[in-house]
Amino acid sequence: MQPRGSEVKGKVVIRGRCIVKGEAVGEALVTKQPFMFPHGINPETGEIIDKRHELFGLNMKGKIFIFPYGKGSTTGSTWILETIRCGSAPAAMVNLETEPVIATGVILGELLYGVRIPVMDHPDTDIFQKIETGDHVKIDAYKGTIEVYK
Amino acid sequence: MLDGERGEGVRFAMEVVTRVGDIYGAEKLVQISSSHVLGHYSSLHDAGVEMMERFTGSKASFRVPTTVDPISIEPERWRDLKIQSSYAEKQMRLTNALMGLGVIPSFTCTPYECCNVPRHGEILAWSESSAVAYVNSIVGAKTNRLTAGLDVSCAITGLTPYFGLLIPENRFGQVLIEVKKRKLGNLHFHTIGYIIGKTVGNRIPVVTGLPLDAKNYQLKGLASAAASSGSVALFHAVGISPDARNVDQAFGPNELEDKIVIDESGIREAEDEITTSRENPDFVAIGCPHYSIPELIELAHMVKGKRVKRNVEFWVYTSKHVAAYIREMGILQTIEASGIRVLTSTCAVISPIKEWGFKVMMTNSAKFANVIPSEHKIDVYYAPLKDLIEYATKGE
């Protein structure tokens, strides 16, 4: 059952900037390391295949994927787009700073495949302290809120 | 354009350009003089093919001269290069869609040397990180480092969001890099670029101590390495870059944030760090960025009368127009007579070379060395061209 409102113990509300509007709920997948989409993910499955990354072997499909910012080549946008085409994309993404590579990939996904993946950045508090992998997270990228349920 | 009166493809492209502009606080869209776009299947995937075909299907076309980066197959000889036909077909669909949009079929990462030559101060919408770094820094044109999909959207609308490096105030230097080594060889430019990228990340470096008679291809090497090891899209080479006659002009109103010295020992350390293995290289690859005519002339001089040994593949990547020139000059024949393959329109980063089973690549390109281990799980041995040729032809 879904925890409800401010009466629930362990609920944290974080505010941020809406990069791509939308709503999503899911389990958090959190890393403090920058993430490289090109050759860092298998678009067909959503599995993280960058051996040097701490999330190696985990899967981002359907997760609320939280990482500081992207890195690597400017083809990251079409790697994200292919992940969306294959139905393996995260449910939402939250960054400290979302770069054009990530925003472009998600916008293309919405326009080409009608899949809406909310993206937010500039959180008003230290998200890496407030959110852990496995937490239940609700994103409202219309209002600009990230609700975390411990 | 947003209301679709110029067709669905133009509306789609306009929506991408407008939405990215809104996110990054662009107060307006501005007209561009040219575009350079990505079109290789290895990164665009099936989704990229579908996107490009959707543009072509709706009769959209590029509004400004638009060149394209190398592609994932050698157009003429992909069958000799162990590439599967199902893979080649995907690339051909992508290429055909780009041709339908009116692309100039340059298939090179160095379009600024031939068919897309920007001028100081022009506003562009380019992708390909090495070309972006070169035209911003050495030519003094203005472009952001665009991403796949946004690049074609800008080319179709002829517009780009006004943000980032298009704004003059955002182009001043932040970090001072002092190069304290004299007599720089070609490899040193790559290594210095690699160190700069690693050190500054995405801040704008001001570089002093580079020789004023540095060759364009040496600066191209520096730009590509810095864009690859960091995300440098603009640097100021003092005395060389048009907006950096001196250090003060390069920094403008900015405070110096940091100062880094690159000396002989720093260069040697970096060169050791770039190399991941020196065990029997079975693949020698050069031409990243695509080799220019002076580099190929030098290569021909160095390999004349020599022969590449049987257990080594030696490939040089260039563009097809450069290949046409050097064929007419007889230089291509000299290079090929040594057993080196001259490949055009593609490169080792974006083409499937897995089938060859290479274990260790030897190269004089810091970008190849930086990217190949993660893209293809191949070790790299980074060394100057002289060493590459000596190794590859020894005992034959």
Task: Give me B198's structure tokens.
Answer: 């690693």
* Domain presence at residue A61: yes
Quick one: closest CA in A to B45, which residue?
A: A82
Q: Is the pLDDT of residue A73 over 70?
A: yes
Which residues in chain B have Cβ-Cβ distances shorter than 8 Å to A105? 147, 149
pLDDT for A50 equals 87
Name residue A138's beta-bridge partners: A25, A147
- Residue B7 region by backbone torsions, left for phi larger than 0, else alpha for psi between -120 and 50, else beta: left
Whole-angstrom distance, CA of residue B66 vs CA of residue B155: 7
Instruction: Please tell me which of the candidates A52, A71, A100 has its beta carbon nearest to residue B24.
Output: A100
- Give the residue numbers spanning the domain of A111: 6-149
The 10s digit of each residue's pLDDT in A12-49 is 999 999 999 999 999 999 999 999 899 899 999 999 99
- Whether the pLDDT of residue B182 is over 80: the answer is yes
Alpha-carbon gap, residue A63 to A17, rounded angstroms: 19
Chain B positions in Cβ-Cβ contact with residue A39 (cut-off 8 Å): 374-375
pLDDT above 90 coverage of chain B, percent: 93
Asked if B336 is an interface residue toward chain A (Cβ–Cβ < 8 A), one would say no
Q: Please tell me the least confidently modeled range out of A70-74, A130-134, B122-126, B241-245.
A: A70-74
- If asked whether residues B262 and B234 sit together in one domain, one would say yes
What pLDDT was estimated at residue A9? 62
Question: The pTM is what?
Answer: 0.94
Does the beta-carbon distance from A104 to B15 stay under 8 Å?
A: no
CA distance B318 to B325: 11
Domain assignment present for residue A12? The answer is yes
Q: Which residues contact B327 (CB under 8 A, 6 or more apart)?
A: B333
B46, B54, B146 member nearest A74 (Cβ): B146
The arithmetic mean of pLDDT across residues A123-129, rounded, is 96
Confidence of residue A4 (pLDDT cuts 50, 70, 90): very low
B47 touches chain A (CB under 8 A): yes
B3 domain residue, yes or no:
no
- Our CA-based measurement puts residue A78 at a distance from the nearest CA of chain B, in whole angstroms, of 5
Q: In the structure, what pLDDT confidence band is assigned to residue A8 with cuts at 50, 70 and 90?
A: low
Contacts of A38 in chain B (CB under 8 A): 43
Distance of alpha carbon B387 from alpha carbon B396, whole angstroms? 15
Residue B88 C-alpha from the chain's centroid: 22
Distance CA A50, CA A85 (A): 21
Percent above pLDDT 90 for chain A: 83
Please give, rounded to a whole number of angstroms, the shortest distance from the CA of A75 to a CA of chain B.
5
Of A43, A98, A101, the CB nearest to B45: A43
Radius of gyration of chain A (CA): 14
Chain B CB contacts of A70 below 8 Å? none
Domain count, chain A: 1
Q: B2: pLDDT confidence band, cut at 50, 70 and 90?
A: confident
Instruction: For residue A82, tell me if it sits in a domain.
Output: yes
Q: What domain count does chain B have? A: 3
CB contact under 8 A, A111 and B16: yes
**pLDDT of A1 over the 70 cut:** no
C-alpha dist (Å) from residue A71 to A77, A98, B10, B227 = 11, 11, 30, 12
Sheet holding B66-68, edge to edge: B66-68, B35-37, B125-126
What is the spatial order of strands in the sheet that B360-363 belongs to? B341-344, B313-318, B283-291, B360-363, B379-382
- Which residues of chain A lie closer than 8 angstroms to B45, CB-CB? 43, 78-79, 81-82, 85
How does pLDDT run across B126-177, given as a tens digit for each residue?
A: 999 999 999 999 999 999 999 999 999 999 999 999 999 999 999 999 999 9
What average pLDDT does the structure give for chain B?
96
Residue A30 confidence (pLDDT): 98
- Confidence check: pLDDT of B284 > 60: yes
Tell me what pLDDT residue A39 has.
87
Confidence check on the interface: ipTM exceeds 0.85, yes or no: yes
Q: Catalytic residue positions of A? A: 73
Identify all chain B residues contacting A73, using CB atoms and an 8 Å cutoff.
Answer: 43, 129, 371
Cross-chain residue pair A82–B47, CB shorter than 8 Å: yes
- Among residues B115, B134, B168, the one where a domain terminates is B168
Any domain includes A56: yes
Give the mean model confidence (pLDDT) for residues A122-147.
97
Q: Are B263 and B282 in the same domain? A: no
Residues 6+ apart with CB under 8 A from B162: B21, B26, B27, B28, B29, B30
- On whether both B46 and B144 belong to a single domain, the answer is yes
- Give the CATH number for residue A130: 3.50.30.10
Q: State how far residue B368 is from chain A, nearest Cα, in angstroms.
A: 13
Q: Is B145 on the interface with A (CB under 8 A)?
A: yes
Domain boundary among B272, B307, B328: B272
Which residues constitute the domain of residue B205?
A: 172-272
Q: Are residues B340 and B215 in the same domain?
A: no
Minimal C-alpha gap between B145 and chain A (Å): 8
Q: Look at A108 and B51 and tell me if their CB atoms are within 8 Å.
A: yes
